[in-house]
Amino acid sequence: MQIYLPIAEVSVNAFLLLGLGGIVGILSGMFGVGGGFLMTPLLFFIGIPPAVAVATEANQIVASSFSGVLAHFKRKTVDLRMGVVLLIGGLIGAAIGVQVFAALRAMGQVDLLVKLCYVLFLGIIGGLMFFESLRAIRRSKSPGKLPPRKKHGLVHALPFKMKFRTSGLYISVIPPILVGLVVGILAAIMGVGGGFIMVPAMIYLLGMPTKVVVGTSLFQIIFVTAFTTLLHATTNYTVDMALAVLLLIGGVVGAQIGTRIGVKLKAEQLRILLSLMVLAVCGKLALDLLLQPSELYSIGTGGSH
Amino acid sequence: MIRALVAFVILALTAPLAAEEVVADLSRREVAITANFDGSDILIYGAVKREETQPEGRLDVIITVAGPSQEVTVRKKDKRYGIWVNTESIEIDRAPSFYAIASTGNLETVLSRTSDLRHKISIERAIRSVGAPSSVENAARFTDAVIRIREDNGLYKQYDNTVFLFDDTLFSTTIDLPANLVEGPYLTQIFLVRDGVVIDNYATAIDVNKVGLERWIYDLAHEQPLIYGLLSLFIAITAGWLASAVFRYIRF
């Protein structure tokens, strides 16, 4: 069944979109990530204009994060105070990101920026996760001592300290605001929630306990992506409601199935699979940049304004 | 060339009472883009009206359908710092978003160059680019690229030998509009060509419009972007809440 998307102005198969939403939903349920970093490139591949893909994906992430955060509120694994601090940084970042996006779109470099961001971040995160989980698997085979965790770092030395009771932390607010800011910029440019950057940053940079990380990250992602959606809708007019609805129907159903599959797998196995997937997407995008494209020319409309 | 000129002069002199005229109609004059729009076929048919006996020479019919013209920016990628980056770009100030051309024979032989220049019939003539920046070499390669890309996307099409002409009087053809259409009037022109020279033409328009939900969403997004954004968020939040509620209900 072909469906004409009113904003993207292309006609695509509705079942293809539902299927994509479902598959990415399953993966995001399995690995506890938003899935934006997979969905946005997939939308590029099926011919959705990049600007529409990025803006619409932000809207879809609002739905999946909201669905996820409700469960975390029930389990009381959301650090609201930390969430709000991250959010302040995130909103400023998103506002900067959308402006950068609009400026680069006019210069015709938005594709390049989005792809470069993807290659860079997917490469770093995928690589780190791959080696970390390899080590974890090796460690589980030969049980030994865990590496000692660093207790004091830069986060304790800076001013403006604040108590975060749920996380059991007493740290400066500057690092969380900076983390929020960076993730906010990336969310707006890449059309992702930023969970795959936020989660490691919260664990390794801020030293937050793992059990509150996912809930808190989801909590602030809802607001940042909601804000990004509004900004894209009002500055670029690129949010496609029909596309978002099709993706999120598939997405929310897939996420529930994925969660059940995820329970049956070991954490290290899950992480190594996720890292391989991240590296595969990264590799595909990197090849697009490195190999000579078959068509050197591209057409953009309304680039002059 | 001289023959063409002579024919043209004769045509100009006899224009008020043209010896041969086109009478034509379309199977539909409106195309509605609905949510499940999947392209549309348009049948174009007509006849040649004559007051006197048919003159000597070969008679051909050329039919063109042109989508709304847009200003487009064409960018070229070059290798910089090891990666492929958009570098040069030019603005093409008039390029139809869709262009289909059907004729009774091979377009190159059916239509003379002068007539093509005058009436802008072939795809190359329908695109106009003036004032390409002097910094860009080979501006023509950019227009060629537009034609190539749009031909690959099925937006520019040249169908030779697809207009059926019966007894030099009745003609018909089918133009197939793809699913990825831009809104607006699609100028439809029928050219009557004798020995490579256009002797009469008829123009009309097919209106392509989004209707229903498509129309409503598009208008809202452009006229009330804030409300549209809030509505998108409302749908997303509701869907997220509903999914979580439904699956909790199923689980227990």
- Give the neighbor-by-neighbor strand order of the sheet with B83-96: A297-301, B69-80, B83-96
- What is the tens place of the pLDDT at every residue in A268-294? 777 788 788 888 888 888 887 777 777
Q: Does B140 touch chain A (CB under 8 A)?
A: no
Measured in angstroms, the CA of B53 and the nearest CA of chain A are apart by 50
Q: How confident is the model at residue A62 (pLDDT cuts 50, 70, 90)?
A: confident
pLDDT computed for residue A105 by the predictor = 74
Measured in angstroms, the CA of B204 and the nearest CA of chain A are apart by 25
Question: For residue A300, which residues of chain B lie inside 8 Å, CB to CB?
Answer: 72-75
Q: Does the structure show a pLDDT above 60 at A55? A: yes
Tell me whether residues A108 and B75 touch, CB distance under 8 A.
yes
Tell me whether residues B35 and A71 touch, CB distance under 8 A.
no
Sequence letter at residue A280: A
Measured in angstroms, the CA of A64 and the nearest CA of chain B are apart by 6
> Mean pLDDT throughout A115-122?
83
- Give the neighbor-by-neighbor strand order of the sheet with B20-26: B20-26, B40-50, B170-177, B164-166
Q: Does B224 touch chain A (CB under 8 A)?
A: no
Tell me whether residues A108 and B77 touch, CB distance under 8 A.
no
Tell me which range, A16-25, A31-40, A280-289, B76-85, is most confidently predicted by mean pLDDT. Answer: A16-25
pLDDT computed for residue A157 by the predictor = 63
Q: What is the pLDDT along chain B (252 residues), one digit of tens a residue?
A: 566 655 555 555 444 445 788 888 888 888 888 877 878 888 998 888 888 777 778 888 888 888 888 777 787 777 777 777 777 777 777 788 888 898 888 888 888 888 888 888 888 777 765 555 555 667 777 778 888 888 887 888 888 888 888 888 898 899 888 887 888 888 888 988 888 888 888 888 888 888 888 888 888 888 888 888 899 889 888 888 887 788 777 764
| Complex-level ipTM | 0.76
Q: What is the 3-state secondary structure (H, E, C) of B139-174?
A: HHHHHHHHHHHHHHCCCEEEECCCCEEECCCEEEEE
pTM strictly above 0.90: no
Q: Does the structure show a pLDDT above 60 at A301? A: no
Measured in angstroms, the CA of A236 and the nearest CA of chain B are apart by 9
Measured in angstroms, the CA of B162 and the nearest CA of chain A are apart by 27
Q: Does B23 touch chain A (CB under 8 A)?
A: no
pLDDT computed for residue B1 by the predictor = 56
Residue B52 to residue B15: CA distance in whole angstroms: 15
Closest residue to B76, CB basis, from A111, A291, A296 = A296
3-class DSSP assignment, residue A300: strand
Question: For residue B139, which residues of chain A lie inside 8 Å, CB to CB?
Answer: none
Other CB atoms within a 10 A radius of the CB of residue B137 amount to 9
Q: Which one is predicted more confidently, A160 or A225?
A: A225
Q: How confident is the model at residue A14 (pLDDT cuts 50, 70, 90)?
A: confident
Give the DSSP letter of residue A8: T
Measured in angstroms, the CA of A175 and the nearest CA of chain B are apart by 29
Find, among B123, B192, B189, B184, the residue nearest to B151 by Cα. Answer: B123
Scanning the structure block, which residue is given the tokens 């050219």? B191
The encoded tokens of residue A103 equal: 């400026």
- What is the tens place of the pLDDT at every residue in A191-242? 777 777 787 778 777 777 777 777 788 888 888 888 888 888 888 788 888 8
**Residue in chain B nearest A253 by alpha carbon:** B243
pLDDT computed for residue B9 by the predictor = 54
- What is the tens place of the pLDDT at every residue in B201-230? 888 888 888 888 888 888 888 888 888 889
Question: For residue A301, which residues of chain B lie inside 8 Å, CB to CB?
Answer: 70-73
pLDDT computed for residue A219 by the predictor = 85
Report B:169-188 residues touching A (Cβ under 8 A).
179-180, 182
- What is the tens place of the pLDDT at every residue in A80-106? 888 888 889 888 998 898 888 788 777
Q: How many CB pairs under 8 A join A and B?
A: 186
Question: For residue B146, which residues of chain A lie inside 8 Å, CB to CB?
Answer: 297, 299
Which of B152, B232, B250 is best to mutate for the A interface (most A CBs within 10 A)? Answer: B232
DSSP string spanning A157-202? HSSSEEEETTTTEEEESHHHHHHHHHHHHHHHHHTS--HHHHHHII
Tell me whether residues B232 and A296 touch, CB distance under 8 A.
no
Q: Does the structure show a pLDDT above 80 at A297? A: no
Find, among B219, A237, B52, the residue nearest to A229 by Cα. Answer: A237
Tell me whether residues A112 and B86 touch, CB distance under 8 A.
yes
The encoded tokens of residue A177 equal: 């605001």
